[in-house]
Structure 1
C-alpha cells in the first residue's frame, strides 16, 4: 500500500538562517530540508559548499533572496586538513588514489611554501567543480571521463595559518586555517601546496568557519532546527539587513519612503555612496524603522537598487508583531 505523503502548508517567511551544514549533504539538499522545516515558500543560498565540507551556510528566505547575490563576493574562512603524500582524482578524499610519494619536506620548507601561496595567486579550477564551460558543469565532463581546458583564475589568499603539522608517520598532514576571496578552491590550494612540497596531497577535511560577517559559532544545525517548536524556528532567523554589512544607512520619512518604493529618485544632501541600505518608518509604529531596499547615491540623488515589495514589508512587520 502506497504511503500517503504529508502535504506541507507553505507560508511567507523572510529572513536569513545561518546553518552549520552537515557532512554529506549538498548545499541544495540542506536548503530544501530547512525550507521544509520552516514551511517557507521561497528560499535560496549564498553560494555552495561541497558535500564533503561542513560549516556556515547562510540560507535566504523570502525577501532575503533579493540580496543573496550581494553576499557571493564576501571573503571566506576555512579550516582544512591536507593529507600529504597522496594525490586523488578529485583532490579530496572522495576520489581515487592516482599517485603516492614519500613525504621528505622539513618544517622550514612547509613554512616557506605556505608563504608562497599568500596574496594574489592564479588557480586552475578543478574538474570536479560546478564551474561551467560551454553551458556544462565541469563535474559533468569529469563524470564522463573528459578533461577540458580551464583558464586560470586570479584569487586572493589573505592569510594561511598553520594550526598543526605532522610530517612523519603513516598519515603525514597539515591542518590550516585559510582566509580567502570568493572563488578560491581550497581543494586546489591543498593540492598545489602538496605539489610545491614535492609529495602531492589532497584534502581529508574541510570546514567553513566564516563567510563575510557570519561566523559558524552563531549557526544552528538541521538537527537543532528540527527539534524546535515552529515559533522557535522562526525566531532563529536573522533580519534581512544582516546581509548588508558595509552599507550606509539612510532613513526616509513616510512620504519619501513611498516614492522610493515606487522607484522614484529622491534628492538630499547625501555624499556619493555605492552601497546604501534604505529604511522607512513602520506603518504600524512610526517610531520603528523597516528596511525598504538597497540603493546608491550619486550627485545628491538616492537611486533605488533592489526593493522590497509592500507585501514583503507588511509580512515582515506582521511576523515581528507575532513574536513574543
Structure 2
C-alpha cells in the first residue's frame, strides 16, 4: 500500500519576487513549508545576490515547469567596470583591476556583437556538471574549471543608463542557459577592460512578469518568515496568491473540451475533434501541434498533442 504524502494538495504558480541574499532552493523551501504543500519546484535558478522573479510551481503545476523554463527571460543588471572578481559578481574576491572606463559610444558600438545567437563560456562558478560535480564546487576547492563554449540566444540587449564612469545599467532578453555574469565579463573584454555584475534583477520569465510578482512578506504577512510557527501559517492567504496552472501556458494553443471529453483525456484516451475544431486550433501552425492545453469549465485537463484530428493526452492534471 502506497504511503500517503504529507501536506496539502496545492496546485498553481506563485510568482515570487525573490529577495536579496536568499538562495532559490531556500526560497522554494520556505514557501512550500508555509503552504504545507506536498510538492513544489521552480522554473529557473536565481543566484542569492540576484533579486526578482522566481516562479514556483506547486502540485500539478510542476508538469508545466519545462515550458516556463524554455521561455525567454528578461534581466536588468549593472556592470561595474574596472574590477574583475573570481565569481564575476559581488560574491567573489577581486582578481584583476583596470583603469579603462568605456564611454557610451564604445559600449553601444559592441552591443550588436552580443545580440542574436552567440557563443558563451559559462562562468567557473556555475551549476554546470563537470564529471558529475558542480563547477562551483570545484572552483571553490581551488580547481581550475575549463568549461566548453555553447550557443545561447540573446534576443535584445540595450544600455539603459550610465550613473557614473564606473557603472553601466543594461537590460537583456535572453534564452535558456544564458549567463549574465559571462555576458558582462565578455563585453568588458571586448571593451579592453574588466568588469563584474554589481546588481542583477530578473523582471520576466516566460509568460510571467513583474506585475504578477509578490514578495515573501506579502505572501506570509510577516517580515521574517523564518520565525513563523506552524500554527501561524495562513493557508487561505497563501492560496489567494497563486495564479492558475494555465497561465504558464499563455504562449501555447488551448482547446476547451466538454466534460465527457475531459473524462476521456484524464483516463489517458485521445479524443477526435471535428475538422473545424482542429482547423481553428491549428490556425497559424502546420502539421502536428506538439503541445496543446486542454481545459474544461472545471480547470486544466491535460497537456496534449494534436495529430490530425486526434487530441492525445501527454500529461494529465489530477487536480482533486
TM-score when normalising by structure 2: 0.88
Residue deviations 1:91-139 (CA, integer Å, cap 9, x gap):
0111111111112433221111222211111000111011112221111
Q: Is the 8 A contact 2:220 2:237 kept in 1?
A: no
CA distance in 2, matches of 1:163, 1:233: 36
Aligned counterparts, 1:72-83, within 5 A: 72-83=69-80
| Deviation (angstroms), 1:158 | 1.1
CA distance in 2, matches of 1:50, 1:91: 12
2:303 aligns to what? 294
CA distance in 1, matches of 2:258, 2:110: 56
Q: Is the 8 A contact 1:105 1:167 kept in 2?
A: no
1:86 aligns to what? 83
Say if 2:171 is the partner of 1:177. Answer: yes
Aligned counterparts, 1:1-324, within 5 A: 10-166=7-163, 168=165, 172-227=166-221, 229-268=234-273, 269=275, 270=278, 271=282, 272-280=288-296, 288-309=297-318, 312=319, 314=320
Name the count of aligned residue pairs. Answer: 293
CA distance in 1, matches of 2:314, 2:83: 49
Task: Structure 1: give runs of 5+ residues left out of the alignment.
Answer: 1-8, 281-287, 315-324
| Deviation (angstroms), 1:72 | 1.0
| Deviation (angstroms), 1:274 | 2.1
CA distance in 1, matches of 2:167, 2:158: 14
CA distance in 2, matches of 1:113, 1:195: 11
Identify the range of structure 1 (245-254 vs 296-305) with the bigger mean alpha-carbon deviation: 245-254
Q: Is the 8 A contact 1:78 1:177 kept in 2?
A: yes
CA distance in 2, matches of 1:249, 1:110: 43
CA distance in 1, matches of 2:110, 2:261: 56
SS of the equivalent of 1:51 reads: coil
Task: Structure 2: give runs of 5+ residues left out of the alignment.
Answer: 1-5, 223-233, 283-287
SS of the equivalent of 2:187 reads: helix
| Deviation (angstroms), 1:166 | 4.7
CA distance in 2, matches of 1:161, 1:200: 19
Instruction: Give the root-mean-square deviation of aligned CA atoms.
Output: 1.5
CA distance in 1, matches of 2:104, 2:240: 48
SS of the equivalent of 1:277 reads: strand
List structure 1 runs of 4+ shifted beyond 6 angstroms: none
CA distance in 2, matches of 1:250, 1:36: 34
Residue deviations 1:188-221 (CA, integer Å, cap 9, x gap):
0011111111111000100001111111232111
CA distance in 1, matches of 2:101, 2:254: 55
